[in-house]
Structure 1
Amino acid sequence: MFKTIERNFKVEYQYRLFFAQGLFKEDNTLFRDLVKGYKDEPVKLLFVIDSGVAGAHPSLMDEISAYCRTYSENLIHTQSIVVQGGEACKNGEEHVNKVLNAINEYAICRHSFVVAIGGGAVIDMTGYAAAIAHRGVKLIRIPTTVLSQNDSAVGVKNSINFFGKKNFVGTFAPPYAIINDTDFLRTLEHRDWISGVAEALKVALIKDIDFFKYLEDNAMKLAKRDMEAMQYTIYRCAEMHMDHIAEGGDPFESGSSRPLDFGHWAAHKLEQMSHYALRHGEAVAKGIVLDVAYARLIGLITEKDLYRIVSVFQNIGFDLSLPIGSERETDELLKGIQEFREHLGGQLTITLISAIGVKHDVHEIDGALMKKALNLVNEISESKAV
């Protein structure tokens, strides 16, 4: 009889978040130095560019080509392909297959780089394609929205939507590096400028009252597109996300608690129900305030804190109304709780707060009280609108 063979091993990961301005200007060596630091010889690069970014920055592809020619001793530019921006690129396999075909056509190997330039959806989809090609091609993320620079591109997850469910198919695969370039923020639609702040408020509410106070004090500046306030917001939010991944003890979400998805059970369902007309950050704002209202109704937080939180969201410019007009739609939204549990597995764990800056996990949700919370949020939103 053979004995069971058992071994333990650890895999170390390191990935870095860089900050830049004018990344592909020829006098900016950051990108060249990053690739050279991996291997001091020519490295193949495949660029995948969000169509929205390509439209807002029409010279970008030429700049990338010129940059790679300038530093040809380290950079081999195989191709730049443009993919559909926004959530549409994650719905099914079409765009994943476009990236996989390019990886195959240009012989991108595990010592090459796929460089994803775009919003969170394009970063997610491209990361998934890179993770499954050759069991993992190296990925550099260059996020171009507030939400992707402070949240989605910072994590270790990649995904697409399937069966009508958000992020049903995906991988955990840390990128080689992330580079936040401020220049991409200047051309954002105002909706995209605002929506990413929801993720900053999320981490502040569950982890750091001082950061919440900063967002509270600078809400009007953020609403008016003050770049200095936004840069700090992105920096601090990204830092807290990376700290959580590195120090939280569960980077690949093996357990049942997922605090960084505070407000997300409703957000994901609202996105789906709106056929993704809602931006992710807009849905997250609604989901967070819904869960904060629920926390108030079960006595976890004070009415004063509820209205304080609501005011910050509204001062930044969020519409908090929940687009639910019937009992059927309410029931459909509440299905998001079970779908959230199924996505993670194990015991239902929903993160709430017991005070600003203090997370509080619960393992069951009172459906009747959640409906009351929904009505409360809409009442508050309507009173603000008047």
Structure 2
Amino acid sequence: MNTLHQSFNVHFTYDVFFSDRLFDPTNSTLVDFLKNRHSEGFRKKLLFILDEGVTTSHPDLLEQIKAYFAPVSSVDMVPDLIVIPGGEGSKNDPALVDQLIDAIDRYGIDRHSYVVAIGGGSVLDLVGYVAAISHRGIRHIRIPTTVLSQNDSGIGVKNGVNYRGKKNFLGSFAPPTAVFNDSEFLKTLDDRDWRAGISEAIKVALIKDQPFFEWLETNAEKLAARDLDAMQYLIHRCAELHLNHIASGDPFEMGSSRPLDFGHWSAHKLEQLTDFEIRHGEAVAIGIALDSLYSQRLGWLSEADTNRILNLERTLGFSLFHPALDGDGVLKGLNEFREHLGGQLTIMLLKAIGKGVEVHEMDTELIREVIGILKENEIQPA
């Protein structure tokens, strides 16, 4: 038998910039980035796609973007800035995928051009997916506008949309060309979106960084009171931990391990069961509480540390129970979590604060018991 063998590596690199008032004429961060990638004699195009919630909160944003790029001769900005609905609903609408692909086709956005997404994590997921499947991959730039997208989803390598009632059933691994975190967008978030993104910081601290968890405890009241300096530190540290994991682990999830999805197996199902009325970060907070209590019931996590986790979430204003947890619907999330990657079921639990451990089976009766404990101790958000 005659066999040919092929093996090659593909190198990915991108920067996450932290800035303020990105489209202020005196802020050259974005335009300098584009100028550094200018090719002589070739003008790259920019197609902007914006989250409607962002343009509502920042009504001058469209004109600011146009004015910012007016004196820039090295790129051609498509005059039609596309505004689409935000939130998880955007990932449930196949018509939006077609609409954005049509815009890419109509304006001749090629593989040397850029699609620029401004919005929350759902819009970034959608736009990244559209960019990845158009022309087999168009470069995309992310400008996250929520805590959750600035510290987690917007800086990672995943894109996707929901399909057949399953979260991120269609998707791609396509790293952004760059990410620009602008703290100005955080100031107009409502309290739910401000709070929701903090759950991803709790998650990564619990599995990777005990000192960061202790910092969260110390600064919980500041964060709850919307202290911007505290939030900027949280976002930077959380982003750093996520990026370090992507670089050192399995960025395209070729195995069965998903350590950064601690608390997520139930969270994803809870989102679906509530028709996405609950925010992703709110569902993750409940999932963290559930899996922390489960770890305690296994005898791994001390009662004192478990209470520290639950008290931190409550201080931040999270509710740790939702009526959709009643019944066995959420238990279906275990198999769906396994199906998403295939192979073994692999769930991250806790041995201690800052130390995660993977297991390959979960006791459904024990899960029901833990849900019952959360229900008995339900505390509504402030």
Per the alignment, residue 232 of structure 2 pairs with 231
Paired position in structure 2 for 1:87: 88
Cα deviation for residue 77 of structure 1 reads: 3.5
Matches within 5 A, 1:1-386: 3-40=2-39, 42-248=43-249, 250-324=250-324, 326=326, 330-382=327-379
Q: Post-superposition shift, 1:50?
A: 0.1
Q: C-alpha distance in 1, partners of 2:253/2:93? A: 23
CA contact (8 A) 1:32 1:74 kept: no
Return 5+ residue gaps in structure 2 as ranges: none
- Overall identity of the aligned pairs, in %: 53
Q: Distance in 1 between matches of 2:96 and 2:217?
A: 39
Distance 1:325 1:318 in 2: 16
Superposed displacement of residue 38, structure 1:
1.6
* Cα shift readout 1:335-358 (whole Å, capped 9, x = no counterpart): 100110001110000000100000
Distance change in 2, residues 1:316/1:385 (3 Å): closer
Letter in 2 for 1:31: L
Count of residues paired in the alignment:
380
Which amino acid is 1:166 matched to?
A: K
CA contact (8 A) 1:32 1:75 kept: no
Amino acid at match of 2:44: V
C-alpha contact (below 8 Å) 1:26/1:70 kept by paired residues: no
Residues 65, 77 of structure 1: 8 Å contact kept: no
Name the SS of the counterpart of 1:318 in structure 2.
coil
Shift in Å, 1:75: 4.3
Between 86-95 and 127-136, the greater mean CA deviation after superposition:
86-95
The answer as to whether partners of 2:204 and 2:241 remain within 8 angstroms in 1 is yes
Q: Which moved more, 1:216-225 or 1:313-322?
A: 313-322
**Structure 2: how far apart are the matches of 1:325 and 1:48?**
36
Amino acid at match of 2:367: M
Distance across 2 between alignment mates of 1:84 and 1:54: 10
Q: Is the 8 A contact 1:209 1:356 kept in 2?
A: yes
Contact 2:38 2:74 in 1 (8 A): no
Q: In structure 2, what is the Cα distance between the partners aligned to 1:356 and 1:323?
A: 28
The SS at the match of 2:180 is strand
Instruction: Give the 3-state SS of the residue equivalent to 2:171 in structure 1.
Output: strand
Shift of 1:92: 3.5
- TM-score, with structure 1 as normaliser: 0.96
**Contact 1:78–1:106 (CA under 8 A) maintained in structure 2:** no
1:110, 1:134 within 8 Å by CA — same for their partners in 2? Answer: yes
Q: Do the aligned partners of 1:207 and 1:359 also contact (CA within 8 Å) in 2?
A: yes
Contact 2:320 2:378 (8 Å CA) reproduced: yes
Distance 2:325 2:17 in 1: 44
Q: Deviations over 1:348-379 (max 9, x none)?
A: 00000100000011110000000001111222
- Provide runs of 4+ in structure 1 moved above 6 Å: none
TM-score, reference length from structure 2: 0.97
Aligned partner letter, 1:309? I
User: How far is the alpha carbon of 1:72 from its aligned partner?
Assistant: 2.8
Query: Retained in 1: the 8 A contact 2:319–2:381?
Result: no
Contact 2:325 2:371 in 1 (8 A): no
Q: 1:21-72 CA deviation, whole Å, 9 max, x = no partner? A: 1111112111111111222453200000000001001111111111111213
In structure 2, distance between residues paired with 1:202 and 1:80:
35
List per-residue Cα deviations over 1:171-221 (Å, max 9, x = no partner). Answer: 000000000000000000110000000000000000000000000000000
Matched residue type, 2:321: S
Distance 2:69 2:78 in 1: 6
Q: What secondary structure, in the 3-state scheme, does the structure 2 residue paired with 1:38 have?
A: coil
CA contact 2:113–2:138 (8 Å) conserved in 1: yes
* CA displacement at 1:79 relative to structure 2: 2.4
Does the CA contact (< 8 Å) of 1:44 and 1:78 recur in 2?
no
Contact 1:18/1:179 (<8 A) preserved:
yes
Aligned-residue RMSD, C-alpha: 1.4
How far off its partner does 1:319 sit? 0.9
Whichever residue aligns with residue 8 of structure 1, its letter is S
User: Which amino acid in structure 2 is aligned with residue 175 of structure 1?
Assistant: P
